[in-house]
Structure 1
Amino acid sequence: MTEDYVAKMGRKSLAELQQYVSGRAQYREDAVLAALDELTRRGEPHPDDARLRPELETEVRKQVDQVAEAQQRAVDATAAEEATETGPTLYSPSTITLFSVVFSMLAGGALLALNFRALKRTGATVRLVLFIVAYLVVGGLILNWVVQRYGLNPWFGAFFDLPAIVVYIFWFWPRYVGATPYQSRSWLLPFIICAAIKIGLTLWAASFLAKFLGTLPGR
């Protein structure tokens, strides 16, 4: 029962208070309880007071509990949102995968290394760099052997980065990021940089190839 209803009922006439009780279906339960209390205080208790009061008090408690639960859910949701908003800004696993596929495993590894830097996990960065170096060396040797044995096939290059992506997402991320709450970092700037590097390398390779072919005899 709120203090507002207590003060409000204190200003009502006996007829109005009786109306609150007899027409209780139109009013809030705490308002009806306040009317019953005011009638008792004035020495004019309602005949049905003993029968109605337990039912009304039970309903008021239910409403209070519902309001308290709703407020607690709102507090929990706000706390969860604030925890997420105050977390570090990281590149998501989907962004790392996308960059590894579109550009190369080196691009995806660079984004993952920036995540470790944001989390201040130097050891994870060192392990990541060692993995990339070892992968390039061992993978290069295997790729060279496959090319020599089976000939050059464009599919080899397409699948070269796949194992590295799997290790990024299913080993490095769960081990060193895990369930840490974070904000997704924009991928636009890294995309522009990687695209510029890729275009520049493509143009340089084309220019180099053209010069090399121009030095061949008969050209």
Structure 2
Amino acid sequence: MAEDYAAKMGRKTEAELRDYVLNRYQYREEAVLAALDELALRGIPEPGAATLVAELQLSKQETDRRELAERELEAEKEQARRIARGEVGPEIQQKAGPALYSPGTITIFSVLFSMVAGGVLLALNLRALRRTGPALLVVAFMLAYLAATHYTLAWLQQAYGNEYVWLGSVFNIVAIVIYNLVFWPRYIGLQAYQSRSWGSALLICGLITLVYLAWALRFGMPTV
């Protein structure tokens, strides 16, 4: 229930009402407007009240827009959480947005297989959102990062043997962090979505991983 500022100001002293006006940036616009109205009712209007009222009404409109946006954003986030928990029906899921692989799925695939798998899922998300440029950027980053990691590991293996082979996992973790903390917030952000089934992706990634491992072992190349 909205607060009854008119009744509240009716119980204030003149000094308290003047304080609302003087320190108006510390209070809600509705409270200050009610204080100005109460002063006018008592026959002791604030000098320049008309200008203050116009200023406060504009400020109130901006505050109302901001608070509405915050409520809508929170509602979208709550609905996304409910969809992820399976608490809503399919008709609501259809309205919630496109089917995307979640950050958790991208992380799991990157850990189970490699950063390539996570990058592919992220690129597929962007393609589903019709954001071709960012999708190509993810693919370019993935290929460049994979090449840099491969040559770095190859050089380390040649110079130090297998002493630093564990760095492959570190490079993989860094890629996961970049996916989740750079690409996702920038190009997907708070987009409402429904979680996409990952069964087929798991099968495909498993087959690709087997082929890649066989190829890497055949040519004596380090894996990421």
TM-score computed with the length of structure 2 as normaliser? 0.52
Q: How many Å separate the matches in 2 of 1:110 and 1:120? A: 15
Alignment deviations for residues 82-110 of structure 1 (CA, whole Å, 9 cap, x no partner): 77542010000010011111111111111
For residue 124 of structure 1, the aligned residue among 126, 131, 134 is: 134
Q: Structure 1 pair 170/205, CA: closer, same or farther in 2 (3 Å)? A: closer
Q: Structure 1 pair 164/202, CA: closer, same or farther in 2 (3 Å)? A: closer
For residue 175 of structure 1, the aligned residue among 167, 186, 191 is: 186
Q: How many Å separate the matches in 2 of 1:162 and 1:106? A: 12
Q: Which sections of structure 1, spanning at least 5 residues, go unmatched?
A: 1-75, 210-219
Alignment pair present for 1:146 and 2:156: yes
Alignment deviations for residues 44-98 of structure 1 (CA, whole Å, 9 cap, x no partner): xxxxxxxxxxxxxxxxxxxxxxxxxxxxxxxx89x95777542010000010011
Q: Structure 1 pair 123/200, CA: closer, same or farther in 2 (3 Å)? A: closer
Q: How many Å separate the matches in 1 of 2:135 and 2:209? A: 24
Q: Alignment partner of 1:95: what SS?
A: helix
Q: Alignment partner of 2:166: what SS?
A: helix
- Taking only the aligned residue pairs, the percentage that are identical comes to 48
TM-score computed with the length of structure 1 as normaliser? 0.53
Asked if the contact 1:85/1:182 (under 8 Å) is kept, the reply is no
Give the letter for the 2:167 counterpart: F
For residue 115 of structure 2, the aligned residue among 105, 109, 113 is: 105
Asked if the contact 2:149/2:168 (under 8 Å) is kept, the reply is no
Asked if the contact 2:98/2:193 (under 8 Å) is kept, the reply is yes
The equivalent residue for 1:10 is none
The equivalent residue for 2:209 is 198
The answer to which of 189-198 and 148-157 deviates more is 148-157
Q: Structure 1 pair 142/171, CA: closer, same or farther in 2 (3 Å)? A: same
Asked if the contact 1:84/1:181 (under 8 Å) is kept, the reply is no
Give the letter for the 1:106 counterpart: V
* Superposed CA RMSD: 2.7
Q: How many Å separate the matches in 2 of 1:159 and 1:191? A: 23
For residue 187 of structure 1, the aligned residue among 183, 198, 221 is: 198
The equivalent residue for 1:88 is 98
Alignment deviations for residues 185-205 of structure 1 (CA, whole Å, 9 cap, x no partner): 011111011112223444566
Q: How many Å separate the matches in 2 of 1:195 and 1:176? A: 27
Q: How many Å separate the matches in 1 of 2:167 and 2:203? A: 27
Q: Structure 1 pair 199/137, CA: closer, same or farther in 2 (3 Å)? A: closer
Deviation of the 1:130 alpha carbon: 1.6
Deviation of the 1:159 alpha carbon: 2.1
Q: How many Å separate the matches in 1 of 2:216 and 2:156? A: 24
The within-5 A match list for 1:64-83 is: none
Alignment deviations for residues 101-124 of structure 1 (CA, whole Å, 9 cap, x no partner): 111111111100110011000110
Q: Which sections of structure 2, spanning at least 5 residues, go unmatched?
A: 1-74, 80-87, 220-224
Equivalent pairs, count: 132
For residue 136 of structure 1, the aligned residue among 132, 141, 146 is: 146
Q: How many Å separate the matches in 1 of 2:104 and 2:171? A: 19
Asked if the contact 2:101/2:122 (under 8 Å) is kept, the reply is yes
Give the letter for the 2:114 counterpart: S
